[in-house]
Amino acid sequence: MRNDEDDDSPAHCGTGKTRLYVDAPMAAGGDVQLDKDQSHYLVNVLRMGQGEHVLIFNGHDGEWAAEIAEASKKAALLRVIERTRAHQPLPDIWLLFAPVKRARLDFIAQKATEMGAAMIQPVITRRTIVSRVKDQRLQANVVEAAEQCGLVALPEVREAEKLDALLDRWSEREGPRRILFCDEAAEPGGSKVALERLAAEGGKGKPYALLIGPEGGFDAEERARLHARKDTVAISLGPRILRADTAAIAALAAVQMILGDW
């Protein structure tokens, strides 16, 4: 997913140092072997060599400074020096969304990661047009966003699942997690009140799942089923029609502001 020729990461999002996500344990004095793609990026693209320093993280042990101990084109080796930042857990807010076309799907994964979603999952509704989602592509976008924006925690990426099947097992599998259902038919203006009511009832910092529908909206039976659930709160995204990718980010921003860690 990394564009070697045109890194358009926002200036405010960068850390000023090269950061890499590595799926390896972290300990001072330990070695981390980079895979072929990471080695290529470090040595051939960034032109970094032995003795230079990078920042690395694995999603649960914080961020660490490391030195390039070996710098071959296919198998670079890092030596871990010291931890620079402790682990920072994400607020327990999930993003469930009907998948869209590839470029917009990339956008959702990247921005949801930057905004602190703890889990990202495509959900297939009855009006969903895009039914096949590449989990590896979603994961790659999540990793790239975390590397660029200084995150030390990564959202979990789950496989796509049909909405009906998800709801059938929700209470049993997810326990008390409330569903915040973005209802295109809801009256505009009530979302802030609904979210603030949840916060006032002790809901700030609690587990939530934000559900975004497809471009054509939820069908009548899906809406009726969601409204009938006791663990679901319907919210509006205003009087204007939003694209599905815009709706996902707008809703996540509102929820993070009132119920998350913003």
User: Is the pLDDT confidence value at 193 over 90?
Assistant: no
15-19, 121-125, 178-182, 210-214: which range is least confident on average? 15-19
Q: How confident is the model at residue 72 (pLDDT cuts 50, 70, 90)?
A: confident
Q: How confident is the model at residue 103 (pLDDT cuts 50, 70, 90)?
A: confident
Asked: is 11-85 a CATH 2.102.10.10 domain? The reply is: no
Q: How confident is the model at residue 139 (pLDDT cuts 50, 70, 90)?
A: very high
Segments of the chain assigned to CATH 2.40.240.20? 11-85
Q: How confident is the model at residue 189 (pLDDT cuts 50, 70, 90)?
A: confident
Task: Enumerate residues 6+ apart whose C-beta is below 8 A from 188.
Answer: 236, 238, 239
pTM: 0.87
Residue 226: closest CA among 242, 209, 246, 241: 209
Residue pair 178/206 in contact (Cβ under 8 Å)? The answer is: yes
Q: Which long-range contacts (CB under 8 A, 24 or more apart) does 219-223 make?
A: 219/125, 219/126, 219/127, 221/126, 222/125, 222/126, 222/163, 223/183, 223/185
User: Exposed, middle or buried, 176 (CB in 10 Å: 0-12/13-18/19+)?
Assistant: exposed
User: Is the pLDDT confidence value at 187 over 90?
Assistant: no
Segments of the chain assigned to CATH 3.40.1280.10? 93-259
Residue pair 226/176 in contact (Cβ under 8 Å)? The answer is: no
What's the sign of the alpha-carbon dihedral 186, 190, 196, 200? Answer: negative
pLDDT at position 1:
42
Query: Which CATH code, of 1.10.3370.10, 3.40.1280.10, 3.40.50.2000, 2.30.40.10, is assigned to 93-259?
Result: 3.40.1280.10
**Which residue in the block uniquely carries the two structure tokens 């981390």?**
32
DSSP state of 24: S
